[in-house]
Amino acid sequence: MSQVNLIEQLLAIVGADNVLTAASDMAPHLVDWRGRYHGRARCVVRPASTGQVSAVVRACAAAGVAIVPQGGNTSHCGASIPDESGEAVLVNLSRMNRIRVIDAANNTITVDAGCILQALQEAAFEVGRLFPLSLAAEGSCQIGGNLSTNAGGVQVLRYGNTRELTLGLEVVLPSGEIWDGLRGLRKDNTGYDLKQLFIGAEGTLGIITAAVMKLFPLPRAIATAWLAIESPQAAVHLLGNLQGMFGASLTACELVSDVSLGMVLKHIPGSQPPLSESPWNLLIELSGTGEEGELRAALEGFLEQALENGAISDAVVAQSGDQARRLWALRENISEAQKIEGTSIKHDISVPISRIGDFVEAADTELKQAFPGIRIVTFGHVGDGNLHYNQSKSETGDNAAFIAVQPQVNKIVHDIVHRLGGSISAEHGIGQLKREELLRYKSPLEIEMMRTIKRALDAKGLMNPGKVL
């Protein structure tokens, strides 16, 4: 089938306004938010329903044309950007943004894949429920992309990552067939849990078009604090004590280095240091259904003891929701501040929580020896062992030369992660960025098992080619 004939079919499926072929119209969809990955496409198609997605996929499959699914295009790894060939059809799901059903009694919400994460959170709030997935890009990322990368965020400690928040999926398979797995069941022991194949698969096995997600009671009480600490080891020690004291009420425990905080203070207007300078900082949050004053008082009591025994050197407890939001903005704006500062080499790693200090110490030491003058930005989720560990140099010319040796930097970081029993991708996925790295750290058997699944569902290899495998 010719390119013209395929585009004519797509026009008939979704309408003329929703098949973009002009370079200027396609441009925003063909570059990732970091500006690192650029691609080309035959066209950008914007379906409005699962039926339209199915028809688009069938047309592309019949023509032997590759498909690149795209949600909010906030990927850190280039997963939603096509290659440079210009042959693929990019399927953008932004028009599929409905809240389909909220079942408050069942604590579930069924949404289209193109639903913005923040819109899902707000819909849950309106019925007195919490959807706990929360990350910096929640105002633009879409739930389909969150599912496809198994996004984590700041509340994994209490509620789990996207995989654990998902009860059911609707997926358009590479054949164009629609698998309806939209079941809001917490117990369903009827064979293979097929939805798990598509969560974290980055669109390589099919296009997620809708999902049933878990909701939770809306916390009435929240207590937030910013702590000054000496080291990542101190953060791990505090985490254990906080969990021992507050149990499941500990919602978040976020590590922020002084370099990370410094970039936010430099680049994000209105940012103010919450405490005097400290080499490391910890942002913690408790939530519950009791009285907020009591929860805050309990946290203050814990922190007084931590000050007395030297576990922390200073602390501030938010006295209002506005103060809490300002503290969270310091953490959530780190990635944006880094983007303003310039290109950096990014790592999204996880290690056992007990080895966080070992990782930071070993990686810092080796990198500084190999690349004198580098800046290391370290922040992330102590509660689940996931750190964002990024490197750059301050001068533009020096930084360009440094970025060019990324494979050497990756090897140092990822070898240490592997030695400590960790993962080279905790929540951002593999995409294009870590495809070759995956081959180094996964066993041949694991890679072959993944390829077997890929061949079984996508025999023609048309679904998001060049990503993950």
Please tell me the least confidently modeled range out of 31-35, 93-97, 138-142, 340-344.
31-35
| pLDDT in the model for residue 465 | 96
Nearest residue to 151 via CA among 143, 142, 159, 161 = 161
Helices 50-63 and 3-14 cross at an angle (nearest 10°) of 170
What does the pLDDT read at residue 267? 97
Q: Would you state the pLDDT for residue 51? A: 98
pLDDT grade for 155, boundaries at 50, 70 and 90 = very high
1 pLDDT above the threshold of 60: no
HSE toward the beta carbon, residue 261, CA cutoff 13 A: 23
pLDDT exceeds 70 at position 77? yes
Quick one: pLDDT band at residue 35, thresholds 50, 70, 90? confident
Residue 176 is predicted with a pLDDT of: 98
**Contact status, residue 327 vs residue 226, Cβ threshold 8 Å:** yes
* Averaged confidence pLDDT in the chain: 95
Per-residue pLDDT of 408-463, as tens digits, reads 999 999 999 999 999 999 998 999 989 999 999 999 999 999 999 999 999 999 99
- pLDDT bin (cut points 50, 70, 90) of residue 4 is low
Instruction: Identify the structural domains of the chain with CATH numbers, from first to last.
Output: 3-92 (3.30.43.10), 99-216 (3.30.465.10), 221-335 (3.30.70.2190), 342-428+441-445 (3.30.70.2740)
Q: What is the pLDDT of residue 290?
A: 87
Share of the chain above pLDDT 90, in %: 94
Q: What is the mean pLDDT of residues 90-115?
A: 98
Cα distances from 16 to residues 23, 100, 167, 327, in angstroms, run 16, 26, 36, 46
* pLDDT-derived band at 34, boundaries 50, 70, 90: confident
- pLDDT value at position 287? 96
Give the mean model confidence (pLDDT) for residues 118-137: 95
Query: What is the pTM assigned to this prediction?
Result: 0.92
Long-range contact pairs involving 271-279 (C-beta distance under 8 Å, separation at least 24): 271/329, 271/330, 271/333, 272/326, 274/226, 274/316, 274/326, 274/327, 274/330, 275/226, 275/228, 275/314, 275/315, 275/316, 276/228, 276/314, 278/228, 278/229, 278/230, 278/313, 278/314, 279/230, 279/231
Give me the phi and psi of 234, to 5 degrees please. Answer: -65, -35
